[in-house]
């Protein structure tokens, strides 16, 4: 945190003060408000759990002696323990009119940040609180970095970090990546399953001005309705049964960096509304709290679903679509970039040969031709798995045609033409004719998703 932002955060600090002397509370509040702090005062210490459940505080000023016990400080120690149970990183300054060195040492050993005596000197109180605020800021930064590191370790365990290809179709994608990367424009990546949409998102982040900050990926299809807000916006300890600690959401972890929301087309309309609200306000509120947290993210979304058609059908919000697709990138399926199959196959061959300690160094010409003729409904991910299986099972130094077993037939090229577009168009027309225009059945026959078939029909004017 730079000096200016630290000073700004310090000016806007939220301070909770608990003392049974109303005159002391009002005097402290007037003094601290002059320092531009937001001060919450409370006479009754029994309200501390409620206050901690409903908000977070930069500093807590806690009296050590309430009406039940005038001089021993036992009540202060009791509430100090309760506060630290709720928030181990709480910054607590204890206050008493009867303090001594022994009590001060005990308070510090039990987790207090500092100790001041009443009546205090105003300058001393202000200086003590300023130091405490900076300490809280450092706690917050360390906690955020720790959570981000855990998230990044989960996300980084990917075997391949770059996009491989030289076909015209993938080169168009490369051009769009270079154009959009250094902006903060929201990007929507469309493409079939297995085409490498997350790799595209990572490539945009790595070439952006945010590359030194977090890239946080979220599979929206794997998040249940009940956990959506907790996962994306975070939660406070005790907000629900399994909330054992304060936890930042994915938005907070991506602050300053890039948030990648995969499979965004799977969100229900109610969750779309919550996501849109966070994107519009650029702030989130943790479950169990009412304090909004500002976030600065670059948003990239991806889906294999036809969002534009879903808007027409009323299953995807048009305003959310406008928000997420300032720039739209369509990732071509593998059957549209056959020229890249040898490059991809060789890449995976080398990777898995090293991984499994196999002396497999080549793919035979016949096997490569078989790979190029297959439709690859699962796209690059299916090719990757096919190569992995072949490397594991082969006893040869080179992969042969018999090493590749496909669930669908490998098609022969049409004798009338070798033009890939004409072959594909003819296959689509034939499938639609066989199934009397039934899109679902035709797509299944062709080994495509409905969304992919719609795009091809639009491409060929069918």
Q: Are residues 173 and 310 in the same domain?
A: yes
Contacts 24+ apart (CB under 8 A), 124-131: 125/28, 125/31, 126/31, 126/32, 126/35, 128/93, 129/13, 129/15, 129/32, 129/35, 129/37, 129/59, 129/61, 129/93, 130/10
In a 13 Å sphere around the CA of 451, the CA atoms on its Cβ side amount to 17
Tokens read off for 165:
């290809």
CATH code at position 241: 3.40.50.300
**How far is it, in rounded angstroms, from Cα 305 to Cα 265?**
6
Q: Are residues 326 and 224 in the same domain?
A: yes
Residue 145 falls within a domain, yes or no? no
Q: Please list the residues that pair with 433 across neighbouring strands.
A: none
Q: Please list the residues that pair with 215 across neighbouring strands.
A: 258
Residue 113 falls within a domain, yes or no? yes
Q: Are residues 303 and 433 in the same domain?
A: no
Q: How many distinct structural domains can be found in the chain?
A: 4
pLDDT digits (tens, 9 = 90+) for 13-53: 889 999 888 888 898 888 888 888 888 999 888 899 888 88
What are the phi and psi torsion angles at 310 (to 5°)?
A: -65, -35
Residue 259 falls within a domain, yes or no? yes
What angle, 0 to 180 degrees and rounded to 10, lies between the N-to-C axes of helices 197-206 and 168-181? 40
Residue 151 falls within a domain, yes or no? no
Cα 7 to the center of its chain, rounded Å: 29
Residue with tokens 């439709």: 375
pLDDT for res 402: 92
| Domain closes at, from 330, 356, 377 | 330
Query: Which is it for strands 59-63 and 215-219: parallel, antiparallel or unpaired?
Result: unpaired
Residue 408 falls within a domain, yes or no? no
pLDDT for res 430: 75
Residue 410 falls within a domain, yes or no? no
Q: Are residues 323 and 345 in the same domain?
A: no
Residues whose CB is less than 8 angstroms from the CB of residue 201 and which lie 6 or more positions away in sequence, other chains included: 187, 189, 215, 217, 258, 260, 262, 300, 302
CATH code at position 357: 1.10.8.60
Q: Residues 238, 242, 245, 250: what is their CA dihedral angle, to the nearest 10 degrees? A: -110
**pLDDT beneath 70, residues of the chain:** 1-11, 67-73, 98-101, 104, 147-162, 407-419, 433, 436, 461
| Domain closes at, from 403, 429, 451 | 403
| Domain closes at, from 330, 347, 363 | 330
pTM: 0.61
pLDDT for res 10: 47
pLDDT digits (tens, 9 = 90+) for 277-314: 999 999 999 998 888 999 999 999 999 999 999 999 99
Residue 392 falls within a domain, yes or no? yes
**How far is it, in rounded angstroms, from Cα 126 to Cα 148?**
33
CATH code at position 9: 3.40.50.2300
pLDDT digits (tens, 9 = 90+) for 376-433: 989 999 999 999 999 999 999 999 999 998 866 665 444 445 667 777 877 887 777 6
Q: Exposure pattern of 371-406 as b/e (b: 16+ CB <10 Å)?
A: bbebbbbbbbebbbebbbebbeeeeeeebeeebbee
Q: Are residues 325 and 344 in the same domain?
A: no
Q: Are residues 213 and 315 in the same domain?
A: yes
Distance linking the first and last C-alpha atoms of the chain: 57
Q: Are residues 179 and 296 in the same domain?
A: yes
Q: Are residues 134 and 163 in the same domain?
A: no
Q: Verify cis geometry, omega within 30 degrees of 0, for the bond prior to 170.
A: no
Q: Are residues 307 and 225 in the same domain?
A: yes
**How far is it, in rounded angstroms, from Cα 408 to Cα 375?**
8
Q: Are residues 211 and 243 in the same domain?
A: yes
CATH code at position 430: 1.10.10
Q: Are residues 321 and 189 in the same domain?
A: yes
The parent domain of residue 370 ranges over: 334-403
- Any alpha helices (H) in 242-340, and if so which ranges? 250-253, 269-281, 307-313, 318-324
Radius of gyration (C-alpha) of the chain in whole angstroms: 30
Residue 444 falls within a domain, yes or no? yes
Q: Are residues 229 and 320 in the same domain?
A: yes
pLDDT for res 370: 93
């Amino acid at each position: 945190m730079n000096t200016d932002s630290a000073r700004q955060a310090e000016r806007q600090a939220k301070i909770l003060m608990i003392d049974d002397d109303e005159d002391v509370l009002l005097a402290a509040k007037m003094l601290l408000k002059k320092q531009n702090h937001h001060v919450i005062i409370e006479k009754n210490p029994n309200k501390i759990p409620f206050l901690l459940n409903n908000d977070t505080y930069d500093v807590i000023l806690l009296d050590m002696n309430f009406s039940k016990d005038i001089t021993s400080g036992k009540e202060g120690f009791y509430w100090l323990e309760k506060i630290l149970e709720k928030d181990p990183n709480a910054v607590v300054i204890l206050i008493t009119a009867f303090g001594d060195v022994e009590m001060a040492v005990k308070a510090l050993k039990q987790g207090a940040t500092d100790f001041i005596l009443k009546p205090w000197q105003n300058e001393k109180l202000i200086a003590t609180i300023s130091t405490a605020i900076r300490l809280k800021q450092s706690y917050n930064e360390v906690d955020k970095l720790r959570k981000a590191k855990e998230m990044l370790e989960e996300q980084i365990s990917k075997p391949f970090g770059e996009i491989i290809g030289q076909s015209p179709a993938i080169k168009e994608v490369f051009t769009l990546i270079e154009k959009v990367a250094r902006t903060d424009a929201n990007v929507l990546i469309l493409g079939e399953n297995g085409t490498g949409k997350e790799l595209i998102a990572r490539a945009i982040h790595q070439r952006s001005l945010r590359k030194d900050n977090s890239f946080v990926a979220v599979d929206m299809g794997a998040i249940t309705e009940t956990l959506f807000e907790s996962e994306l916006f975070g939660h406070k300890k005790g907000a629900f049964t399994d909330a054992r600690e304060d936890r930042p959401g994915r938005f907070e972890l991506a602050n300053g960096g890039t948030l990648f929301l995969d499979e965004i087309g799977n969100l229900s309309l109610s969750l779309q509304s919550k996501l849109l609200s966070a994107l519009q306000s650029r702030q989130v509120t943790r479950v169990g709290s009412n304090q909004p947290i500002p976030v600065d993210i670059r948003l990239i979304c991806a889906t294999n679903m036809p969002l534009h058609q879903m808007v027409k059908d009323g299953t995807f919000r048009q305003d959310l679509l406008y928000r997420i697709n300032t720039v739209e990138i369509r990732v071509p399926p593998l059957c549209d970039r056959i020229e890249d199959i040898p490059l991809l196959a060789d890449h995976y061959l080398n990777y898995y040969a090293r991984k499994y300690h196999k002396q497999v160094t080549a793919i035979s010409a016949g096997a490569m031709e078989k790979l190029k003729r297959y439709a690859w409904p699962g796209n690059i991910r299916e090719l990757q798995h096919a190569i992995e299986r072949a490397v594991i099972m082969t006893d040869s130094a080179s992969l042969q045609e018999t090493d590749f077993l496909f669930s669908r037939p490998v098609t022969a090229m049409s004798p009338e033409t070798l033009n890939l577009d004409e072959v594909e168009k003819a296959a689509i027309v034939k499938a639609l004719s066989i199934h009397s225009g039934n899109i679902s059945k035709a797509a299944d026959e062709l080994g495509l998703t409905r969304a992919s078939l719609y795009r091809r029909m639009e491409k060929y004017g069918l």
